[in-house]
Each structure stands twice: as C-alpha cells, then as structure tokens.
Amino acid sequence: MLSGNPIQRACPVCAARDAAPCLAKGALRLVRCRRCFMVYADPVPPELVSGAYYDGLGESYYLSPGKLESDYSPVRFERELRWFRRHCAGGRVLDVGCSSGAFLFQLQARSPGTYDVLGTDVSGPALDYAESRGIPVRRGDFLAMDFGGARFDAVTFWAVLEHVAEPRRFLERAASILEPDGRCFVLVPNFQSLAMRLLGARYRYVYEQHLNYFTRATLLRLVQPRFRLVAAHSTHFNPIVIWQDWRRGGRPVSNPQRAELLRRTTAWKQNRLLTPVRWLYRLAESALGAVGLADNLLFVLRPRSEVGDEFGPGRPV
Ligand SMILES: [Zn+2]
C-alpha cells in the first residue's frame, strides 16, 4: 500500500502551482498555496488519488467491529442529521462516500418513508455492508457515474472532500445532478480548529488519507463557482481526541487503532454516568462553534443557476 510513484498536485482550490512547504509528518508533506492560502498534500500516493487504497480497507477498518459500532451508533451522525433535516424536508438523497451506509440508515430510521436514498463509494467491502443493512448503493467513481438523467434533492459529502485529489470536480458533478432548488451538504475538518491549533502535526487527522486541509475561507472559495452558501457552521468538538493525541505525541495511529479509538469515544459519548460532563462538553462545542474553532466545517449549499447568478455568494452565517 502507498508504494507507487507520488503524484504532483496543483492547488485544489485555485489551480496554481505556486506553494511553499507548510508542515511535515512521516511521509506526508503539506504545502500552502501562495495565491489562495489553501493547505494541501503534495505530492500524494497514486492509490489515494485513484481510490484503490479505500477498496483495500475492508476488514482492517470499515468493517472492523469498532468502526461499525461507532458508525451505527445513534450519536455518530447526530449533528449531520439535525442540519440535514432542517435544510432538506424530503426527496431523493445521494450520499457520496457513504462508506458502510450509516448516515443513510439513520436518516431512514428517523424519518421513515420521507427520503429515497442512494449511497456511493469506492470501497467495495464497505458497500457490501451498506447493502446488508438495506441501503441501495452504486459502486465506483462518482465522477464517472451515469445517473441516467436523474436529479437529486440533496447530495451529501460527509468527510469526503478532504480525501479526494480534485474536490472541485466532485462539487461540479454534484451541482450537475441536483434539482435547481436542491441542497449540497459538505462537512470537512476545520484546519483552524482548536484541536489543530493545539496539536498541529500531532493531530490524528493530519495524516496521509487527508489530501486537503480547508479553512472557512478556502472552502468558500472552492464552492463559490457552482454554489451559493445557504448556511455555514463550525461543529463537533472532541476533547478526548485532543487528550489522546497530546499524549501520543504524534506517533502514527494504525487503521485498527483508529477504529478502536472511535469505538471508545462513542462509548463515552453514550455513557449515562457522564451526562453532567456532556452538558459542559456541549457548552464548549457551542462556544467553539460560535468563534469558528470547532473540529469541522459544515456548509449547506444551493446550486447557482446555469446562466450565472446575480445574488453573490450568499449570506455568511
Ligand atoms: Zn490556491
């Protein structure tokens, strides 16, 4: 794995080839674009660009008991579901990078008969599992997928655009298959989060699978050609991850370890004895979110019309 000749990249946001070294961790090299300040991995292993890496991550990660237990726990997509249902009342939903299908499963479980769901991913083993839970799937490369003229009311990218070499093409494809008043949901790690500021390269989410490191400004610049911003939030906060990564001091986390850490943090989130702690935790998450320091950025977007859109980028929230 990750042994092919590295692929050189242009800036995924502005396409310039003018970047300065920013951060190094193991074999990972991050650079910062001098034109738009986007931070991205360069060069990158070909298996990550093609997606072949994820197809090989079955038993060791996506289907490991820790990862599945965490994905299918009711707390895993709590925030995403709240925002999703607020901005999309029903209709056809495509989850790109759906992995084991947990988001769509939870969506259907909470709103039976409201959504017509479809998941797609490059990881065959994860899709096998999604199908076993009753989620309809399409296999392969989203960019090359033929939907036969079908339109969707929502397209979701939950923690996907940080993994792909050409995120702009994914957004263009999403815009092309959305209903004119459809919604696109994007969640990515926040490069300006408190965790990132405290931990830097020690943070577990600075790792080879993440090719793009967005701030609110660079994500906005990426989406603007095809979308208007409907809502933007900074969401999620995991002090356990900060504590664990601080103690680990940046030592690599294997995929099985990553799955086990996910399982443990999910179990803590569900532990009733920790209810008072959760109150404090939610307060901290809201406060960090209000100042843009929470772990992730969540954008709700609506496609611009094909013939230009005079309304500008939308109201920043
Ligand atoms: Zn750039």
Q: pLDDT over 90 for what percent of the chain?
A: 69
Residue 93 has pLDDT above 70, yes or no: yes
SS3 content of the chain, % helix, strand, coil (to 5): 40, 25, 40
What stretches of 246-317 adopt beta strand conformation (E)? 296-303
Reading the block at residue 47, the tokens are: 């298996």
Contact 145, 96 (CB under 8 A): no
C-alpha span between 77 and 150 (Å, rounded): 26
39 CA → ligand 1 middle, Å: 8
112 CA → ligand 1 middle, Å: 43
Residues 6+ apart with CB under 8 A from 118: 92, 93, 94, 95, 104, 136, 137, 138
Q: Is residue 67 exposed (0-12), middle (13-18) or buried (19+ Cβ within 10 Å)?
A: buried
Q: How far is CA 271 from CA 70, 143, 160, in A?
A: 14, 41, 29
Q: Which residue has the tokens 């990972």?
A: 28
Reading the block at residue 130, the tokens are: 């999604």
230 CA → ligand 1 middle, Å: 24
C-alpha span between 304 and 310 (Å, rounded): 9
Give the residue-averaged pLDDT of 283-299. 94
Task: Identify which of 202, 181, 194 has the alpha carbon closest to the alpha carbon of residue 24.
Answer: 202
Question: pLDDT of 170-189, one tens digit each?
Answer: 999 999 999 999 999 999 99
Contact 120, 177 (CB under 8 A): no
307 CA → ligand 1 middle, Å: 26
216 CA → ligand 1 middle, Å: 14
Contact 280, 243 (CB under 8 A): no
C-alpha span between 234 and 237 (Å, rounded): 9
Q: Determine the pLDDT at residue 58.
A: 66
Higher-confidence residue of 216 and 237: namely 216
Give the residue-averaged pLDDT of 134-140. 96
Q: Sorting pLDDT into bands at 50, 70 and 90, what band is 317?
A: very low
16 CA → ligand 1 middle, Å: 5
Residues 6+ apart with CB under 8 A from 272: none
144 CA → ligand 1 middle, Å: 25
Cα end-to-end distance, the chain, whole Å: 41
Question: pLDDT of 56-86, one tens digit each?
Answer: 876 678 888 888 888 898 888 999 999 999 9
Query: In the chain, where are the structural domains located?
Result: 51-191+226-303
- Residues counted in the chain: 317
188 CA → ligand 1 middle, Å: 18
Contact 189, 296 (CB under 8 A): yes
Question: pLDDT of 121-136, one tens digit each?
Answer: 999 999 999 999 999 9
Q: How far is CA 61 from CA 68, 122, 206, 251, 256, in A?
A: 9, 14, 18, 19, 6
- Kindly report the three-state secondary structure assignment for every residue of 162-174: CCCCCHHHHHHHH
Higher-confidence residue of 269 and 241: namely 241
Q: Which residues surround ligand 1, an ion (CB under 5 A)?
A: 11, 13-14, 16, 33, 35-36, 38
Residue 310 has pLDDT above 70, yes or no: no
What is the rounded radius of gyration, in angstroms, for the C-alpha atoms of the chain?
19
C-alpha span between 283 and 268 (Å, rounded): 17
Residue 88 has pLDDT above 80, yes or no: yes
Query: Highest-confidence range of 42-51, 134-143, 280-289, by mean pLDDT?
Result: 134-143
304 CA → ligand 1 middle, Å: 22
159 CA → ligand 1 middle, Å: 21
Q: What class has domain 51-191+226-303?
A: alpha beta
10 CA → ligand 1 middle, Å: 8
Residue 315 has pLDDT above 60, yes or no: no
Q: Determine the pLDDT at residue 2.
A: 66
C-alpha span between 310 and 296 (Å, rounded): 29
218 CA → ligand 1 middle, Å: 8
Q: Determine the pLDDT at residue 61.
A: 80
316 CA → ligand 1 middle, Å: 21
Question: pLDDT of 264-290, one tens digit each?
Answer: 878 877 787 778 887 888 899 999 999
Q: How far is CA 247 from CA 201, 255, 309, in A?
A: 13, 18, 49
Q: 3-class SS at 98?
A: coil
Q: Determine the pLDDT at residue 316.
A: 47
Least confident of 96-105, 148-157, 178-187, 243-252: 243-252
Task: Identify which of 233, 123, 219, 235 has the alpha carbon closest to the alpha carbon of residue 167.
Answer: 219
